Amino acid sequence: MISAAVYGIAGAVLTQDERAFFRDADPLGFILFARNCANAGSIQRLTGDLRDLLGREDVPVLIDQEGGRVMRLRPPDWPDAPPARTIANFYERNQEIGREIAETLGRMFGAMLIEVGIDVDCAPVLDLGFPNTTDAIGNRAYSAHPEIVTHLGQAMARGLMREGCLPVIKHMPGHGRCTVDSHKHLPRVDADLLTLRTHDFVPFRAARDLPLGMSAHVVYSAIDPERAGTVSGSVINELIRGEIGFDGFLLTDDIAMDALSGSPGESAAAALTAGCDAVLHCSGNLTEMVDVAGAVSTLTELARRRWDRAQAARQNPEGVCYRVLSDTLNALLNKV
C-alpha cells in the first residue's frame, strides 16, 4: 500500500539501506536536489532505479526548478534562467512578452525534467513579494501585485504542463508576508483576513484548479493563532479547501523544517491529521525518514482520488528540445 510520503535521497546513487527502506516504506514518490543530480545520465539512471525499486512506472519524482537561485539543474550542464522577480520586471514593460517568457521558461524546465525522468516541478511560487519579505522567498516571488503573480504563475504552470510536467503551486495560502525563514523559525502573519483575501490568497484562488499544491509552515493569526498552516485543520480545510477552493493534491513543505515543533514523525502525523494529503521529507536523513514512515498512514481514499485526478491532468509532452526552448527564452529576454 502506498504511504503518504515523498522522500529525499542522500546522494546520486541509492545505498543498500535506502533500497531496503524505500522498498518496505513504499512511499508515494521522491524529491531530488542538486546532491542527486550529477549529470543527465546519472539522473536518468536514478529515476529509473527508483521506479523499478517500487515496481510502479508512475512513481512521481519531484524537484524544485524555479529559476534564479532555486534551480537544482544549473549551468554549465543546463540552461540558465532568471528568477521570478526579473520576469515580472519584463512583464511590467510588456505584458504579452512577459507572459510568453514565463510560459517558455515553464516549457524549457518541463522538457529538461521529463528528459531525465523527473515529472513534477515544485513551482511556480505564487507568494506575494514585499520589501520586507524574508530572503528565503525574496526574488523567488514575482511581485507584490496579486494580478501580476496570477498571470505569470499561471503562464509558467501552463508551460510545464505543455511538456508533460506537473506544477506544484506554493506556498499555500501565502508566504509573502513572512519576515523570518521557515527553515529556521516559525513565521507569523498578523494581517487581517480582508487584506489576505484581497491580496495574498488571490493568486491561489485563481490557480485552484491546478492539480498539485504545497502548504506553508506559517501561522496566520486571523485564522488559527496557535498552529502553523501545515498542521492546522482550520487553515487546510476551511481556508485552502474551503475559501480558496483548492481540491487538488496537497503536499506539505519539508516536514523537517525548524518552523515545526516536535520530531519529523510527529509533524508528519499532525499534517496528515490536519488534512494534507502527503508529507514531504527532503534531507535524505535515513533516521528521520524511518521516524516519518512510522508516523504516516497509507494514502487515504480521498487523497488517492486527488492523486489519480492529478495524474489524469498530465499532458503528452509537445516534445520540443529544451535547448531550442532555451534559445527562444533568450531571444524573448533580449526583446524587452
35-90: pLDDT as tens digits = 999 999 999 999 999 999 999 999 999 999 999 999 999 999 999 999 999 999 99
Measured distance CA(129)–CA(132) in Å, rounded: 8
Judge whether 169 and 210 are in contact, CB under 8 Å. Answer: yes
Cα dihedral sign, 5-11-14-19: negative
Cα dihedral sign, 21-302-258-132: positive
What b/e readout covers 288-303, taking b as 16+ CB neighbours within 10 angstroms?
Answer: bbebbbebbeebeeeb
Q: Catalytic annotation on 183?
A: yes
pLDDT for position 184: 86
Q: Can you say how many angstroms the Cα of residue 271 is from the centroid of all Cα atoms in its chain?
A: 16
Q: Give domain limits for the chain.
A: 55-266+312-333
pLDDT tens, residue by residue, 182-213: 888 899 999 999 999 999 999 999 999 999 99
pTM: 0.97
The catalytic position among 119, 121, 253, 291 is: 253
**55-266+312-333 CATH:** 3.20.20.300
Per-residue DSSP letter, 239: I
Q: Can you say how many angstroms the Cα of residue 144 is from the centroid of all Cα atoms in its chain?
A: 20
pLDDT tens, residue by residue, 113-125: 999 999 999 999 9
- Give the confidence band of 223 by pLDDT, cuts at 50, 70, 90: very high
- Give the confidence band of 138 by pLDDT, cuts at 50, 70, 90: very high
The catalytic position among 26, 145, 181, 183 is: 183
pLDDT for position 247: 98
